[in-house]
A and B are shown apart, each in its own frame.
Chain A
Amino acid sequence: MRLKLVPTETKIDFFKRGYITMGLSAVLAVLSVVAFLTMGLNYGIDFKGGSVIRTATPAPVAASVYRDVLSTLELGDFTVTEVKDPGADLTDTNRNAVMIRIEQQSDIPETQNDIISEVKAALGNEIEGISFLQTDSVGAKVSGELVVAGIEAVVLAVLAVLFYIWLRFEWQFSLGAVAALVHDVVLTIGVFAAFQIEFNLSIIAAILTIVGYSLNDTVVVFDRVRENLRRFKAKPLRELLNMSINETLSRTVMTSVTTLLALVALYVLGGDVIRGFTFAMIWGVIVGTYSSVFVASPILLRLGVKRDWDKDNGAAGTQYANIDA
């Protein structure tokens, strides 16, 4: 007996409730933009500058103890958070870690250096057995450049795949794929803004991987659409798209599940250092799978496609062609 996540034959009409799915995507995208504009992202020191110190103690020490010690120093704004990581007990890597974040105070790096030494000395005196797992300090100048480089990378990636899909398919496919892609990136940033999860350099890497995954998924559906367009020349585009999505549905679900299996393992057991990264990836895979069916394909339907693939060129005459241009 085989495990079947999706029945052998499905005939789901994915466009029947198009106004709901597209509406949902639109609302979520708008909410994401609103969250980004009103709440902003919780930037890590990579993007904001400042210092982070990660400590470890043999026994748990309350964050308030750290706060009491640190408030005797003149640090400006700082936050202390206990690292809560149930997964660490499973992998036997629990060290009662605490993260101390200190805001960037001036552009002079020497100041920040003194602060780190001061904090280390003060905590070393007051808390028994403390060790410092990690200290990071980034100047405002570098962090500003990293923001720009990150945005450039995402934009460049989007443009490059837009071009590739345009080469391999048609421009309508390209637009559909990129719309799905932008949808995924926007929703990911929205989640990070809404829940104020720390946004650091590795999240940029996660977003770019989401870009890759989302496309991967969309391209597989589009590949089947292209093939069916050649086989069924007279079939209305809506039916044809539905057929293609249904035919690839089993694969779409299988791949998402195996990828999510791996990512969830990493999320639970991989330690809190990369938890933000894996969270972004999990969210991205879910949204990316959704968007290739419910965003990319409806856009393709709206735009219409050239039907006569056997002829090299020619006016693309379909009943949907009047919508494009």
Chain B
Amino acid sequence: MLHFPMWKQTLIWIICVTGLVFALPNAFYTRVEQHNDAVATLATGAPETPELLAARDAWPDYMPNQLVNLGLDLRGGAHVLVEVNVAEVYQDRLDALWPAVRDTLRAQKEIFGTVVPVDAENEMRARIGNAEAIDQAVELIRREHTRPVVSLTGAGARDFEVRAEGDEVVVTMSEAEQIATDDRTMLQSLEIVRRRVDEAGTREPTIQRQGADRILIQVPGLGSAEELLVLIGRTAKLSFNEVVRQVASPDENPGLGNEILPSVNEGEGYYVVKKAAVVTGDMLTDAQTQFDQNGNPAVGFTFNTTGARLFGAHTAANVGKLFAIVLDGEVISAPRIQTAILGGSGIITGRFSVEESGQLAILLRAGALPASLKVLERRTIGPELGQDSIDAGKVAAIVAMVGVVVFMVLSYGLFGLFANFALAFNVVLLFALLSMIGATLTLPGIAGIVLTLGMAVDANVLIFERIKEELRRGKGPARAIEIGYEKATSAIIDANVTTLIAAVILFMMGSGPVKGFAVTLGLGIITSVFTAIWVTRLLVVLYLKARKPKTIEV
């Protein structure tokens, strides 16, 4: 027992001191946070203002600067969980396939006869004039327009399924392709949401995929979930379509290949536009808030070369006609083409406020979402509530700590003091670990820490009670302590492993704040076992060596 190798002693001290250094930034939270922000701002090449430099120099560079992240419930902010309507993409894919299929069939008009599209949901239908050739048509489309799906699960499947129904060819998306498409849709959606939130300049947003078709967005410091939804809730699908005519009612027959879209401006009624867009939003390279010749807010945009060429050709051929600027199925404006627009840039005027035009510019720059989003959960936590929770948590933690410390000294005297020293290091190490792994501290997480305070002394209580028993059996101090540690170990390990199992399961199954609680609980178990067994042991050994007491009282 008294034999405690030097390397072990040194290692324990090193761990404790390292823990102290890494936990320290959290004691100066605001200062370190401002330092980190200043460093990040300066790294982007921002001018060196006195404020920035002062903030940077307030915390020395050689010190660690990682902090425990404060969760949304402590910092305040917006939380939104959305579901991506992945199935919407299927129809788009089928629509995109139609021109190629039509051209293939029409190229062999002598075999198939006339080819007429039929309106249908979630499938593509076409009637051919020559019904006897239907099998040939199916075979041709399958050969020319379907490809094997490249995925693990869909081995052997093709992306589209083609079948015949009477004189109609029906093309649907295969299940394997749907799964592959869903995944692409999710990745795209995540990317677009991330770009939009970043464009809005919010700090440290969390954007995570959850499950098959959900996205969790958390933005600390944002005023409300509604603000966040303005940014991410819209699909922002922009297109420039040819206007066929204006109508008063949405019930009129638009004619084949056309559709009726409402205007956002009241009193303008409805527009019949060609379904196939001239240019789409994904051909934009930039969008900015501008002002039109009357000084009203507008959104200026620039096309890429393909977009510029298409738009130029269309405007050149249709001078004097209307074209519609369509956003998410609504016509936001329908200007008359005055001259050919060849430069590849233009301006969208509408009845915008400056704020709205800024938002639209962000949406257009970030790109359209591949599918619309359904909001499942929205939460807003005001910063005051978060601060209250931190304040209350701090007071509770201090009171709990003092209570446990006093109680331990009353019960175990000097040994209680050793245990308290270990307890203090337990908290320090816990904060150091949380900072190093960049964990997020939530309100239940604070509860986890306070709970750890109470439970951390358990290992020491086990050891001390054991030592007491051995002393009663007439063992000398050194021998009693040795046996005490030895015999208590299996109980400590078994007891803590079981709690750890519960923490791990909480972590795997839980979400949000519950997960944060699991992390602090789990790490708290590890640090408490370390400090209770090794730190107190080291102290006890040092005490025995220094004083060589004949009797001890535990």
Which residues of chain A from 130 to 173 have a CB within 8 Å of any chain B CB? 131-139, 141-142, 146, 149-150, 152-153, 156-157, 160-161, 164-165, 168
Contact A219 B491, CB 8 Å, known A133-B385, A274-B444: yes
Closest-CB distance, B379 to chain A (whole angstroms): 5
Chain B residues 322-357 with CB under 8 Å of chain A are none
B497 within 8 A of A: yes
Q: Which of B108-116, B117-125, B193-201, B445-453 contacts A (4 or more CB under 8 A)?
A: B445-453
Select from chain B the residue with minimum beta-carbon distance to A260. Answer: B454
Q: Is A321 in the interface zone, CB < 8 Å from B?
A: no
Which residues of A lie under 8 Å from residue B388 when comparing CB positions?
A: 88, 91, 93, 95, 271
A72 at the interface (CB under 8 A from B): no
Are the C-beta atoms of B376 and A205 separated by less than 8 Å? no
Any B CB within 8 A of the CB of A273: yes
The reply to whether the CB of A242 lies closer than 8 angstroms to some CB of chain B is: no
Residue of A nearest to B554 (CB): A2
* Structural contact, A141 and B376, CB atoms closer than 8 A: yes
Q: Is A41 an interface residue (CB 8 A)?
A: no
Q: How far is it, in angstroms, between the C-alpha of A139 and the C-alpha of B370 when the chains are bound?
A: 23
A135–B410 contact, CB under 8 A? no
Q: Say yes or no for B54: interface residue by CB 8 A criterion.
A: no
* Chain A residues positioned under 8 Å from B399 (CB to CB): 265, 269
Contact B465 A250 (CB under 8 A): yes
Select from chain A the residue with minimum beta-carbon distance to B499.
A212
A265 and B396 contacting across the interface, CB-CB below 8 Å: yes
Which of A4, A87, A204, A220 lies at the interface centre, i.e. has the most chain B CB atoms within 10 A of its CB? A220
Residue of A nearest to B448 (CB): A209
Indicate the member of A8, A54, A265, A277 with the most B CB atoms within 10 Å.
Answer: A265
The 3 A-B pairs at the shortest CB distance, nearest first, are namely: A262-B454, A259-B454, A212-B502
**How far, in angstroms, from A165 to B499 measured CA to CA in the complex?**
12
Extra contacts besides A205-B518, A216-B455 (16): CB < 8 Å: A2-B410, A2-B412, A3-B410, A88-B388, A90-B395, A113-B375, A141-B376, A201-B511, A211-B502, A258-B454, A262-B451, A263-B454, A265-B400, A266-B450, A269-B396, A270-B447
Partner-A contacts on B (CB < 8 A):
73, 81, 224-226, 229, 374-382, 384-385, 388-389, 391-393, 395-397, 399-400, 403-404, 407-408, 410-413, 443-444, 446-447, 450-451, 453-455, 457-458, 461-462, 465, 468-469, 472, 487, 490-491, 494-503, 505-506, 509-514, 517-518, 521, 553
Q: A88-B392, A113-B226, A219-B491 are in contact. Are A208 and B502 (CB under 8 A)?
A: yes
Please indicate the chain A residues that have their CB under 8 angstroms from the CB of B461 in the complex.
Answer: 251, 254-255, 258
Contacting B at CB under 8 A, from A175-229, are 201-202, 204-205, 208-209, 211-213, 215-217, 219-220, 222-224, 227
Are A137 and B400 closer than 8 Å at their CB atoms? no
Asked if A266 contacts B396 (CB within 8 A), the reply is yes
Known: A216-B458, A250-B465, A266-B396. A258 touches B407 (CB 8 A): yes
Contact, CB under 8 Å: A205 / B510:
yes
Contacts of A297 in B (CB 8 A): none
Within the complex, which residue of A201, A257, A268, A270 is in contact with B513, where a contact is CB–CB below 8 Å? A201
Do A263 and B505 form a contact, CB below 8 Å, given A2-B410, A273-B443, A277-B444? no
B380 touches A274 (CB 8 A): no
| A-B contacts, 29 listed (Cβ < 8 Å) | A2-B413, A3-B410, A109-B374, A113-B226, A117-B226, A133-B381, A135-B378, A149-B509, A164-B497, A164-B501, A201-B514, A202-B444, A205-B518, A209-B451, A212-B501, A212-B502, A213-B499, A215-B495, A254-B411, A255-B455, A259-B458, A261-B404, A261-B454, A262-B403, A262-B404, A263-B451, A265-B450, A270-B392, A270-B447
Cα–Cα, bound, A213→B455 (Å): 9
Closest partner residue, chain A, to B500 (CB atom): A212
Q: Which residues of A contact B404 (CB under 8 A)?
A: 258, 261-262
Tell me which residues across on chain A come within 8 A of B499, comparing CB atoms: 212-213, 215-216
Report the separation of the CA atoms of residues A258 and B491 in the bound assembly, to the nearest whole angstrom.
18
Contacts A153-B509, A269-B395: A139 and B225 contacting too (C-beta < 8 A)? no
User: How many residues on chain A are close to B (CB under 8 Å)?
Assistant: 84
Q: Measuring CB to CB, which residues of chain A are less than 8 angstroms from any residue of chain B?
A: 2-5, 8, 54, 56, 87-88, 90-93, 95, 109-110, 113, 116-117, 131-139, 141-142, 146, 149-150, 152-153, 156-157, 160-161, 164-165, 168, 201-202, 204-205, 208-209, 211-213, 215-217, 219-220, 222-224, 227, 247-248, 250-251, 254-255, 257-263, 265-266, 268-271, 273-274, 277-278, 281
Q: Would you call A262 and B453 a contact (CB within 8 A)?
A: yes
Most central of B374, B391, B395, B411 by chain A CB within 10 Å: B395
**B496-A270 in contact (CB<8A):** no
Residue in A88, A202, A216 with the greatest tally of chain B CB atoms within 10 Å? A216
CB-based contact A223/B454 at 8 Å: no
A225 to B510, CA, bound (A): 35
Contact present for B521 and A209 (CB under 8 Å): yes
Chain A residues near B498 (CB, 8 Å)? 161, 164-165, 212, 215-216, 219
Of B374, B382, B444, B500, the contact of A205 (CB 8 Å cutoff):
B444
B375 near A271 with CB under 8 A, answer no
- Residues from chain A with Cβ under 8 Å of B412 in the complex: 2
Alpha-carbon distance A138/B262, docked complex (angstroms) = 32
Interface of A is mostly: helix
How distant is A90 from chain B, measured CB to nearest CB, in Å? Answer: 7
* Complex contacts, A266 vs chain B, CB 8 Å: 393, 396, 400, 447, 450-451
B225 contacts across to A, CB distance below 8 A? 135, 137
Q: How far is the CA of A91 from the CA of B450 in the complex (A)?
A: 16
**Is the CB–CB distance between A223 and B490 below 8 Å?**
yes
Chain A CB count within 10 A is highest, among B374, B400, B469, B502, for B502
CB neighbours (8 Å) of B506 from chain A are 153, 157, 205, 208-209
Q: How far is the CB of B474 from chain A (nearest CB, A)?
A: 14
- Chain A: CB-nearest residue to B452: A262
Give the chain A neighbours of B447 by CB distance below 8 A.
Answer: 266, 270, 274, 277-278, 281
A220 is contacted by which of B73, B381, B462, B500 (Cβ under 8 Å)? B462
Q: Is B376 a contact partner of A139 (Cβ separation < 8 A)?
A: yes
Min CB distance, A166 to chain B, in Å? Answer: 12
Q: A161-B501, A223-B494 are in contact. Are A139 and B451 (CB under 8 A)?
A: no
Contact, CB under 8 Å: A134 / B513: no
Tell me whether B377 and A91 are in contact (CB under 8 A): no
Residues of A within 8 A of B469 (CB): 247
Nearest Cβ in chain B — how far from A231, in angstroms? 11
Which of B495, B509, B511 is close to A219, meaning CB atoms less than 8 Å apart? B495
Q: Select B450's contact among A141, A142, A212, A263, beta carbons within 8 Å.
A: A263
A265 touches B403 (CB 8 A): yes
Closest residue of chain B to A165, judged by CB? Answer: B498
Give Cα distance in the complex from A120 to B232, angstroms: 22
Task: Give the docked Cα–Cα distance between A127 and B385 (Å).
Answer: 19
B518 to A, closest residue via Cβ:
A205
One of A87, A141, A255, A270 near B458 (C-beta < 8 A) = A255
User: In the complex, what distance in Å separates the CA atom of A260 from the CA atom of B454?
Assistant: 7
Q: Let me know if A269 and B392 touch, CB within 8 A.
A: yes
Supposing A213-B455, A271-B392 touch, asked if A157 and B505 sit within 8 A by C-beta, the answer is yes
Given A113-B375, A216-B495, A251-B465; A156-B509 close (CB under 8 Å): yes
Instruction: Determine if A134 and B400 form an interchain contact, defined as CB atoms under 8 angstroms apart.
Output: no
Q: What residues on A are CB-neighbors of B411 within 8 Å? A: 2-5, 254
